[in-house]
Copies of this chain bind each other. A is one copy, B any other.
């Protein structure tokens, strides 16, 4: 007899903070962060919503937990004497996690983050910069400029690929006055046509920007 998880009779795993958080991450990955309600989470856990409050102070605490879980998934890159390569790898590792959890950017922006996963991540970057001879000032600037990329979530208004949780592309609102945007049209046709710029690859754009910034700091370091 196959026992389904939902048919919670005898086998129900005890509720723990970890199980609550992991299930919430599941829910967020599937339906976006707004799909994480105490009631739906309880349902998925086979429990009434109010039971969750035993393992989580309130919803804020739950969301903070989600961030910590996701940040902990960023794999620290191989130690590398080349500071640029080290930071590049770290940013790309962070981006991989963010693509798995598309709700992260908003959470990171909106919540002050100070947990161990966050601090450890930043500490590694700073240590790398100092080891490469960055001054305090320059390292401070670098942290600010790179921050969104270090956590993988440089958000791109011109994302050409469909975002998870987003609706299919709304019909463009431009028909009436197409001729007001000649440069835009030129670019759009170049990007979308064969033999033009080719498909716009968000990974490529992410790395292009990252390298541009890293090269800039290399020059300033000298």
Interface residue ranges, A against B (CB under 8 Å)? 105-106, 108-110, 112-116, 119-120, 122-123, 126-127, 130, 136-137, 139-141, 143-145, 147-148, 151, 154-158, 166-167, 169-170, 172-174, 177, 180-184, 186-187, 190-191, 196-197, 200, 205, 208-209, 212-213, 215-217, 220
Contacts and interface: CB of A to CB of B under 8 A. Distances in A.
Contacts of A143: 158, 187
Q: Top 5 closest A-B pairs, CB basis? A: A126-B183, A145-B209, A144-B205, A147-B157, A212-B216
Contacts of A215: 216
A105 B109 contact: yes
Contacts of A119: 174, 180-181, 184
Contacts of A196: 136
Contacts of A170: 112, 114
B136 A197 contact: yes
B106 A186 contact: no
Contacts of A191: 140
Nearest to A143: B158
A126 B181 CA distance: 10
B110 A200 contact: no
B180 A120 contact: yes
A119 to B, nearest CB: 6
B106 A183 contact: no
Contact of A213 (B147, B169, B216): B216
Contacts of A145: 205, 208-209, 212
Nearest to A217: B212
B158 A126 contact: no
Given A148-B155, A212-B213, A140 B197 contact: yes
A174 B120 CA distance: 11
A136 B190 contact: yes
A143 B138 CA distance: 26
